[in-house]
Copies of this chain bind each other. A is one copy, B any other.
Amino acid sequence: MNAHIITIGDEILIGQIIDTNSAFISKELIKIGIEVTKIVSIGDSKKAILSSLKDSQNNCDIAIITGGLGPTNDDITKDSFCEFFDDELVHNPEILRHIEKLFKKFVDNPINDLNRNQAFLPSKAKLIPNLYGTAAGMSIKAENTLFISLPGVPYEMKSMVTDFIIPQIQKDFKCPVIITKTLITYGKGESYIAKKLKDFESNIPTNFKLAYLPNLGRVRLRLLGKGNQKSILEEKMDDLISHLYKILGNIIIGYETLNPIESEIGKKLIKSNQTLSLAESLTGGMLASRFASFAGASKYFKGCVVAYSSLIKKNILCVKPETIKKYSVVSSNVANEMAIEIKKKMNTDYAISTTGNAGPSKGDSNQPIGKIFISIATPHDVKSFEFNFGKNREKNINKTVNKALELLFSELLTRD
């Protein structure tokens, strides 16, 4: 079982937006055993759409197309479908009723003929409802490929995928099982690891695949296994992983899950009925927003103080002026005091604090750009960690956020 994803829209091709839809769809598909073998982004051009549909027909079981379903002239997915499938548009009263309902509730101008046009679908197409917008989705089965067309607006597309497409595919297709596991290694290069894994790789079962993902001082090793029975696959995966631990032992620093690490942290804290607060300086709210983006976060995430200035570190986070004077605002001492105080103030079990110079200018302290401290306060103690991530502001902030999440996650793992 394989799928293609086709995203339509000039905005992707000129780099105005980054295509995040494809990664979402890929993740949802792989969970139910469907591999994406190609992702294509094309412009709002009928020629390009037709050529992509042709490329997908018979080369994949499912082709998911996003974008080009709006009411305006540059939205040409339905026309292209009609031409490709030799079909014509017919009126669908169910869609019109839905559009009328949405307009009544949310829009203060009257419905016009362009909106009414959105209530037409190719006659061979099956409707996929869009609860949050006026652009209906549709599916057409042609030869060996199921074509599914969805709007490009992310929150509309996402709910259609999880609420309608995935359950439908699971009902209609017999999907295999795919499982993946990613190990994170630290400190050695790809070539060093590959050399060590030479025998391992030549003995790997044919339904498993090993990939190397190097970036910024870490090499992640991803194992992907495909089969029909989950339990057998998982047993083999455990085998392979423990084999990898034997060979690489000391350079493996942990797992990466397909769920972001912050949601794994959340699960662990909810399970143990514990809570978290944050005191952020250079990360400026980014850590908080990572937690807050998950439904149910309020069960364990109590809140955060973003202390961008030294004055607020002193006044709200009660960092002692003499600590700042003696060690500078970028120091393990300040990070520790921030973590301890926010944990106390918000009455939580854990707390994370960050302080550092993201650059490009030096800010309140005289510490070099890229010097960063993260503290983790636990029910028992507080630990501080020092890093130097270099001169790039964006990289400094993002690496600090990721590092802080990893540190808390490791802390929670040690108590398991």
Residues of A within 8 A of B (CB): 10-20, 22-27, 30, 35-44, 48, 55, 70-75, 106-109, 111-115, 118, 132, 134, 153-155, 158-159, 180, 182, 187-195, 201, 209-215, 222, 224, 258, 278, 280, 282-289, 291-293, 295-298, 301-309, 311-312, 315-316, 345-347, 359-361, 363-364, 390-395, 397
Could you name 26 residue pairs across A and B whose Cβ atoms are closer than 8 Å?
A10-B222, A11-B213, A13-B26, A15-B27, A16-B180, A38-B42, A38-B48, A39-B42, A70-B190, A71-B189, A72-B193, A72-B194, A74-B210, A158-B394, A280-B288, A284-B293, A284-B297, A285-B304, A288-B289, A289-B289, A297-B308, A298-B364, A303-B305, A303-B306, A304-B305, A304-B308
**Closest approach, in angstroms, between the C-beta of A222 and any C-beta of chain B?**
7
Report the minimum CB–CB distance from A28 to chain B (whole Å): 8
Say yes or no: A18-B11 contact (C-beta < 8 A), given A285-B286, A297-B308. no
A72 interface neighbour in B30, B212, B311, B393, Cβ under 8 Å = B212
Residues of B within 8 A of A109 (CB): 188-189, 192
Contacts of A296 in B (CB 8 A): 361
**With contact pairs A14-B180, A19-B19, A303-B307 given, residues A312 and B153 touching in the complex (Cβ less than 8 Å):** no
A302 CA / B42 CA spacing, docked (Å): 42
Assembly CA distance A248 to B347 (angstroms): 52
Interface centre among A107, A213, A315 (most CB of B within 10 A): A213
B303 near A292: Cβ-Cβ < 8 Å:
no
Partner of A214, one of B43, B153, B209: B153
Q: Please report whether the interface of chain A is mostly helix, strand, loop or mixed according to DSSP.
A: mixed
A74-B212, A115-B191 given; A392·B292 CB < 8 A:
no
- CB within 8 Å for A284 and B295 given contacts A23-B18, A302-B312: no
The chain B residue sitting closest to A276, CB to CB, is: B308
With contact pairs A15-B30, A194-B71 given, residues A308 and B298 touching in the complex (Cβ less than 8 Å): yes
Known: A211-B10, A303-B309, A394-B155. A112 touches B191 (CB 8 A): yes
In the complex, A257 Cα to B106 Cα: how many Å? 28
**Contact pick for A114, options B11, B20, B41, B191, CB 8 Å:** B191
CA distance A333 to B295 in the complex (A): 25
Contact present for A397 and B192 (CB under 8 Å): no
Q: Are A288 and B284 in contact (CB under 8 A)?
A: yes
The 7 closest A-B pairs by CB, nearest first: A284-B292, A285-B288, A15-B27, A15-B26, A285-B285, A304-B306, A114-B191
* A345, B307: Cα distance in complex, Å: 12
Q: How far is the CB of A307 from chain B (nearest CB, A)?
A: 5
Task: Please name all residues of chain B whose beta carbon is closer than 8 Å to the beta carbon of A154 when the two chains form the complex.
Answer: 215, 394
The interface residues of chain B lying within 8 Å CB-to-CB of A345 are: 315-316
